[in-house]
Every structure is written in structure tokens, then in C-alpha cells.
Amino acid sequence: MLPGYPYSIVNFLHYFFFYLLFSLPLTLSYRNTKVINFAHSNFITYGMYTAVFLHGLLGNTSLPAAAAAAFLVGGSMALLNNIAVFRPLERRGASPSLVMIASMGLWIMYNYLLYMLADVAHFFSRKNFVSYSKIAYSDVPELSIAGFTLSQSFVASMLAALGLVVALYLFLEKTRLGRAMRAVSDNPVLAEVSGIPRDTIVNLTWLIAGGVAAVGGAVWTCFSGTITPQSGDAMILQVFTVSFIGGLVSLLRTGLGALAISFIENVGIAALNTYLGVPTSFRPFLTFATLLTILIASPPLGAAGGLPYRFRRRG
């Protein structure tokens, strides 16, 4: 029997759904825009705080409503980033690292903007928004299957993740716009031929990427015991690790990455703790070690790639 069964299994699936919600949009945004977006964590956190503010200030207890609002917030943030920052930089021919540094600047900015918003909200409502409890939504059911009770957040994250996967599949495979989007990632030059301007596709990509990540954040509010303005940042390296397993381009491999990392983080660490006495505090260490191993063993496919340099000697 697996250690921590059945909670580690439940958590494993739970995290799997969340990583799908957080990492698939990241992969999508990189493969279509080639921007390594540090500010991705902001989409997630702002999604959470959209739900938190709706709950704390307006008393909203409907998760679909919170998720819809989060989509708008995250999507428009991402769109704004692109129009105001990334596109002008690319027009000017800035290098990918420079664009990445700009996204780092955005990340810092949004992060502390949120703290400021939380301060202001605290001033008006006298509620603590810097550390907010789990939200109980009224319109998400708990499910009972074969004696197991699946919590509200499990049901919500499962539905959201499944919905995302199905919608992405249908969109990318079955619609003209979706096919154009795939073409952009495969061959930007060729994509121009399809008749849909690259700009439109990139904008749409950002809207979807930011929006979906924010929806993930909104769903997170009924799972995590505490929501802080750091919640998104604290998991961003994990989210990136998942996407790196997918080489930042393959959505299917990103899904596998989500499976692998959530397995390591839940079942893996519990097993190591129980059988080998490895402290639980090594959980993030494991994730980072996995990230490094992946980066070194199999460099991301979608990146400009390493040098055409071979370290081995010719025999």
C-alpha cells in the first residue's frame, strides 16, 4: 500500500488538476509567443484575489462567477502586458533575454500592486486580505463515490481541468483559428499565409493563457487553507518545471509533466519520508532537483536550443 493512502493519492490527483490549469496556459503562451513569462505567477495570484475580493468585499459565493471574473482579469492583464510591453520590445528587436527581464519587472510590479490593493481593501473593510482563509462556495457539490467523499475543491478543479483539456483540444484541432494558432508555433513564416495576422493570434494566445491561469487561481481559493499575495510566486518554479518537462512547446508532454511532478510532490515525498526518513521539508528541494535534471538531461525543445557544440570527443 502506498504511503499516506488514500490522501496522498487524492492530493496527487488534486495537484495534477491544478498543474494542468497552471502549466498548460504557460506552455501555450511560450510556444506561440516565445516569451518566457515570469509574470505568469501574477495571472494565478490575481485569479485567486479576484475570487478573494469578490468574496470578501461583495460576499460572492458562486465559484463560476468568480472564475468568469478571474478569466477577465487574468486575460486582460496578459493582453495588456503584450500590447504595452512585449510587442513594443519585439518590434524593436529586443533579445529574448531582455523580454524575459521585462517580464520579471512586470512580475515584481504586479506582485506589490496586489499587496497595495490588499492594504487598501483592508483599510475599507477591516478584513485581513494578506492572508485569507479558504472560501466555501455554495454552488459546487461534494461528490460521494464508493464511500469516498470528494471535496468541493476536488470536484471543482477536476471539472475545470477536464474542461480546459477538452476545450483546448477542440479549439486547436477543430477550428480554423486554432489551427492557425498551431501553425504559428510550428512555423511563424508559414502562418502568415493562413490569412490570420500573427498579431491577432498572439493577442488571443495571451488572453487565453492569462485567463485560464487565473481561472486556476480562482479554483485554488476553495482548495488552499490560506491565500496570500505570495501564493502564486511560491509555486511558480513548480509550474515552470511542469512546462519544462513539456519542453515548453508540447501540450501533451506538459500534461505528463503535471502528472510526474504532482506524483513526486505527493506520493514520492511521502514514500521517501516513510521509508527512508527523508524530511518532508525536502519537498521543494525534490522539485528543483527535478527541474535541474530535466534542464540538463533534456533541454527544452522549444528553446533556441543550446549551442551546436558537442562536449564529447570524437572517437
**Residues 194-233: x where in contact with other proteins by CB under 8 A, - otherwise, as a string:** -----------------------------xxxx-x-xxxx
| Largest separation between any pair of C-alpha atoms in the chain | 73
- Residue 177 makes contact with other proteins by CB under 8 A: no
What are the beta bridge partners of residue 145? 148
Pick 31 or 168: Cβ nearer other proteins: 31
Which of these segments, 63-71, 178-186, 194-202, 272-280, binds other proteins (CB under 8 A)?
272-280
Contacts of 73 (CB under 8 A, 6+ apart): 46, 47, 50, 214
What gap in Å lies between CA 289 and CA 200, rounded to an integer? 38
Residue 39: half-sphere exposure toward Cβ, Cα within 13 Å = 32
- Residue 309 makes contact with other proteins by CB under 8 A: yes
- Residue 282 makes contact with other proteins by CB under 8 A: yes
User: Residue 5, class by beta-carbon neighbours within 10 Å (0-12 exposed, 13-18 middle, 19+ buried)?
Assistant: exposed
- Residue 144 makes contact with other proteins by CB under 8 A: no
Pick 97 or 252: Cβ nearer other proteins: 97
Pick 93 or 195: Cβ nearer other proteins: 93
What gap in Å lies between CA 288 and CA 284, rounded to an integer? 6
Pick 212 or 235: Cβ nearer other proteins: 235
For residue 6, whether the previous peptide bond is cis, meaning omega lies within 30 degrees of 0, is yes
Give the one residue of 64, 80, 112, 139 binding other proteins; rule: CB under 8 A: 112
Binding to other proteins (CB under 8 A) within 239-258 occurs at: 240, 244
User: Residues binding other proteins: what is the number (CB under 8 A)?
Assistant: 91
- The H or E element spanning position 150 is strand 148-150
Residue 205 beta carbon to other proteins: minimum distance, rounded to whole angstroms: 18
- Residue 19 makes contact with other proteins by CB under 8 A: no
What gap in Å lies between CA 70 and CA 160, rounded to an integer? 13
Which of these segments, 106-114, 175-183, 185-193, 196-204, binds other proteins (CB under 8 A)?
106-114
- Residue 157 makes contact with other proteins by CB under 8 A: no
- Residue 108 makes contact with other proteins by CB under 8 A: yes
Binding to other proteins (CB under 8 A) within 59-98 occurs at: 84-85, 88-89, 92-94, 96-98
- Residue 174 makes contact with other proteins by CB under 8 A: no
Give the one residue of 71, 110, 137, 206 binding other proteins; rule: CB under 8 A: 110
Give the one residue of 80, 143, 234, 256 binding other proteins; rule: CB under 8 A: 234
- Residue 188 makes contact with other proteins by CB under 8 A: no
In contact, 249 and 302? CB cutoff 8 Å: yes
| Nearest alpha-carbon partner for 231 in 13, 12, 20, 22 | 22
- Residue 148 makes contact with other proteins by CB under 8 A: no
In contact, 5 and 266? CB cutoff 8 Å: no
Pick 4 or 246: Cβ nearer other proteins: 4
- Residue 178 makes contact with other proteins by CB under 8 A: no
* Cα separation values, 228 from 131, 155, 211, Å: 5, 23, 20
Give the one residue of 80, 116, 190, 256 binding other proteins; rule: CB under 8 A: 116
Residue 67 beta carbon to other proteins: minimum distance, rounded to whole angstroms: 19
In contact, 57 and 34? CB cutoff 8 Å: no
SS3 content of the chain, % helix, strand, coil (to 5): 70, 5, 25
